[in-house]
């Protein structure tokens, strides 16, 4: 990029590299809400809940689509709409645990497309329980979130062209998952994520109650010892 003329304004480095839209970033920061940063690669989805600070952005909670395979037994592709939804759900639940209740979506330099992966992430975050300003029209349909469009395509391909079916869905078949059964598999993984966080909530509550009981015990013990001391002094 070469500067032409005295009035030429050189854009910031991250703007030149296609990484940051500073005008949009300023508007998001002025909202004074944590940002849900959703970024996708060809094979994965990365979601972070971020707070803007002078020294640099602070990550409150994050989720990677790899976690779906590692921790929850996801057998489907990690870059599709169902995986994007589950990654958003996972990040949303993590953010709730850290005390985040409201946030705003940050899609970066991506062009907003109705029903895309970025908005599947948003749907997951909303279902986790976070409040995010949005329009219902932009969210993907429930059938697409469950992966019914993939299952229907797989059924047609299996009957019309079995060779292409085996080639396209080789990763699914290697993991012993028929793509036609993706919606059922999606529901199982979603239930696993929700039940795992319910267990964590229960454990945290039990810890808190145990701590409060200990505090009450120590307070009562201190009171009883001080009473005994006073009684001993009076007897003397």
Any domain includes 173: no
**CB-based burial of residue 88 (10 Å sphere; 0-12 exposed, 13-18 middle, 19+ buried)?**
buried
Average the pLDDT over 23-38 and give the result: 88
Q: How far apart are CA 124 and CA 189, in angstroms?
A: 13
Collect contacts of 141-144 with beta carbons under 8 A, ≥24 apart.
Answer: 141/115, 144/81, 144/115, 144/120
How many structural domains are present in the chain? 1
Q: How far apart are CA 5 and CA 91, in angstroms?
A: 47
Any domain includes 129: yes
Contact 103, 130 (CB under 8 A): yes
Any domain includes 180: no
pLDDT single digits (tens) 150-187: 999 999 999 999 999 999 999 999 999 999 999 999 99
Strand ordering across the sheet containing 35-40:
58-64, 45-51, 35-40, 104-106
**DSSP run (H or E) holding 95:** helix 81-97
Q: How far apart are CA 235 and CA 77, in angstroms?
A: 79
Q: Give the pLDDT confidence score for residue 224 in this predicted structure.
A: 65
Any domain includes 167: no
Any domain includes 84: yes
Q: Which residue has the tokens 């300023």?
A: 26
Q: What single DSSP character describes residue 138?
A: G
Any domain includes 99: yes
Select the more confidently predicted residue: 120 or 26.
120
| Least confident segment among 98-102, 118-122, 149-153, 213-217 | 213-217
Q: What single DSSP character describes residue 169?
A: T
């Amino acid at each position: 990029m070469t500067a032409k003329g005295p009035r030429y304004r050189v854009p910031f480095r991250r703007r030149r590299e296609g990484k940051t839209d500073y005008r949009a970033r300023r508007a998001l920061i002025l909202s004074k809400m944590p940002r849900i940063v959703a970024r996708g690669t060809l094979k994965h989805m990365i979601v972070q809940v971020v707070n803007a600070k002078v020294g640099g952005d602070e990550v409150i909670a994050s989720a990677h689509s790899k976690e779906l395979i590692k921790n929850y037994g996801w057998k489907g592709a990690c870059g599709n709409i169902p995986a994007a939804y589950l990654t958003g759900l996972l990040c949303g639940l993590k953010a709730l645990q850290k005390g985040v209740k409201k946030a705003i979506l940050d899609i970066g330099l991506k062009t907003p497309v109705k029903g895309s992966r970025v908005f599947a992430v948003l749907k997951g975050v909303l279902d986790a329980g976070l409040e995010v300003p949005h329009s219902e029209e932009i969210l993907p349909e429930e059938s697409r979130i469950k992966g019914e469009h993939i299952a229907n395509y797989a059924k047609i391909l299996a009957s019309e062209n079995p060779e292409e079916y085996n080639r396209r869905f080789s990763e699914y078949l290697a993991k012993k998952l028929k793509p036609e059964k993706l919606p059922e598999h999606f529901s199982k993984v979603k239930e696993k994520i929700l039940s795992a966080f319910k267990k964590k909530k229960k454990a945290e509550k039990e810890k808190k109650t145990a701590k409060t009981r200990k505090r009450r015990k120590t307070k009562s013990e201190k009171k009883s010892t001080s009473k005994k001391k006073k009684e001993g002094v009076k007897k003397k």
